Structure 1
Amino acid sequence: MAVTPESRFDHHYSQLIQLFRECFEKQYQTCLVRGGAEPVYLPQSEGRLFSEIHFAHGFFSSALHECAHWMLAGEQRRRLEDFGYWYQPDGRNAEQQRLFEAVEVKPQAIEWMLSVAAGYRFRVSIDNLQGEATDPARFKQAVYQQVRHYLVQGLPGRAEQFRQALCEYYGTPRKLSLTQFDVETI
């Protein structure tokens, strides 16, 4: 039987919560939280000791994805609920989908790189099952090109810190190469 990323490890969201805590809780007063149907970022407030990154349904991939959004957000954005971003839920028309994809390229590229570090299969998400049909090939290529950019320029600091923690925990290679990323598989 072939060993696939999914079969090599028992991927559970609790592992990500713990690793995130070790990497960021003290310095950034931020924690990763299993959420419900919709992910949300809630900044620290008078009634909330820590900023909270809520990911959907306990899904491992959702946790990685929401972490990627946080890792991209600057200090000002981390003070705003959902980083102050517009979000149109599933059911978007073609123009709304193009706008959605434009802001999703970088987080999905980081999610893909974190997935590789965790030995977990990445699948690009167009997150629009009820909306107007669009061809995902352009978006997949944009995510792939962003990964190529990060391979040359490096990941943002918090993303690289978490990637290294994932590599250590899951025993995956720390060195990245383009051969680990195939646009045809996402």
Structure 2
Amino acid sequence: TPIVKATKGTQVTSFFTLPEYEQWLRQSDRRTWKIKYYKGLGTSTSKEAQEYFSKLETHRISFIWTDESVDAIELAFSKKRADDRKKWLSELDPDTHVSHASSSLSYSDFVNKELILFSNYDNIRSIPSAIDGFKPGQRKIIFACFKRKLKQEIKVAQLAGYVAEHSAYHHGEQSLASTIVGLAQNFVGSNNINLLLPIGQFGTRNMGGKDVA
């Protein structure tokens, strides 16, 4: 299934990798297109799901075992090769991606052209920036608070919805709500300087914050 769809009138362009979409963005006028991000089949309409499954052969890619497959899989998953993985990720070409026009793919190409993108985005989402100490999700929440000129009390769900609408947040709102809660926790042991005020029950030291209301 596509990650992004761009629509203009009856013209629809599907992108199966973010590098493909970013390349297209650099060459197109973004303002004239309607962009929709997809996160699994749950984001697709019934009509779109029927389209995918009616053209199953087009969307199916066969994996091929080659001489490099064992090394590629070990590089991606072996605990003993953590240092190799760091080097592997540091050498990532941002424009690398798998061609979804092909009907077959080697395990080596999958690891080096597809899985590496997931690993890189996972690091970006999980490791705080050296500049401001924020992860992207936290930064978007603070941006939305400033944009809304937030001074009054607001429900977590309301703020999560506002952030998702105004900050190009493309992941689940449940994850966003957890990040908002984390920015407000200030109990001993939370290892956190709270940037949001915890007006309500935002968890306690006893449960490590998991008893949030």
Q: Same fold (TM over 0.5)?
A: no
The alignment's TM-score, normalised by the length of structure 1, stands at: 0.30
Larger Rg: 2
The normalised TM-score by structure 2 is 0.27
* Greater RCO, CA 8 A, separation 6+: 1
User: Which has the larger helix fraction?
Assistant: 1
